[in-house]
Amino acid sequence: MGRITTLKPRQNDPRRLVDCIIRPLVTEKATRLLEQNQYTFAVQPQATKPEIKAAIELLFNVRVVAVNTLHPPERRKRVGRFTGRKPHYKKAIVTLAQGDKIVLFPEV
């Protein structure tokens, strides 16, 4: 009998890179970080710093200087008598090169 092996996607596969970014986070702290040219994103928990850097550079055509990541604690959610957890995510704070910028709020 032959063994079934699963192929891992290549690290630089553009489809995998785009999927690691979930959404930009817009909070009070994230808005203050915009002044320092730092942008905050929710990313997949298994995404690595090089993958996050490559995805941001691919999506927004900017140069990334640094990527800092953290795992915020899971939040408990209660609906009536049932308790559960909100989905887990990883937060990435991306520092861009001087002069680069991402437009999160396009002028309407």
Instruction: Assess if residue 70 is contained within a domain.
Output: yes
What is residue 6's predicted lDDT score, i.e. its pLDDT? 47
Identify which has the larger pLDDT, 19 or 64.
Answer: 64
Instruction: Assess if residue 104 is contained within a domain.
Output: no
pLDDT mean over 66-77: 93
Domain that holds residue 35: 14-96
Can you give the three-state secondary structure of the chain, one letter per residue?
CCCCCCCCCCCCCHHHHHHHEEEECCCHHHHHHHHHCEEEEEECCCCCHHHHHHHHHHHHCCCEEEEEEECCCCCEEEECCEEEECCCCEEEEEEECCCCCCCCCCCC
Instruction: Assess if residue 68 is contained within a domain.
Output: yes
Of 5-9, 57-61, 62-66, 80-84, which range is least confident?
Answer: 5-9
Counting the structural domains of the chain, the total is 1
Instruction: Assess if residue 33 is contained within a domain.
Output: yes
Instruction: Assess if residue 108 is contained within a domain.
Output: no
CB contact set of 44 (below 8 Å; sequence gap of 6+): 19, 20, 22, 89, 90
18 confidence band (pLDDT: 50, 70, 90):
confident
What is residue 16's predicted lDDT score, i.e. its pLDDT? 76
pLDDT mean over 5-15: 56
97 confidence band (pLDDT: 50, 70, 90):
very high
Kindly report the CATH number assigned to the domain that includes residue 32. 3.30.70.330
Instruction: Assess if residue 61 is contained within a domain.
Output: yes
What is residue 108's predicted lDDT score, i.e. its pLDDT? 63
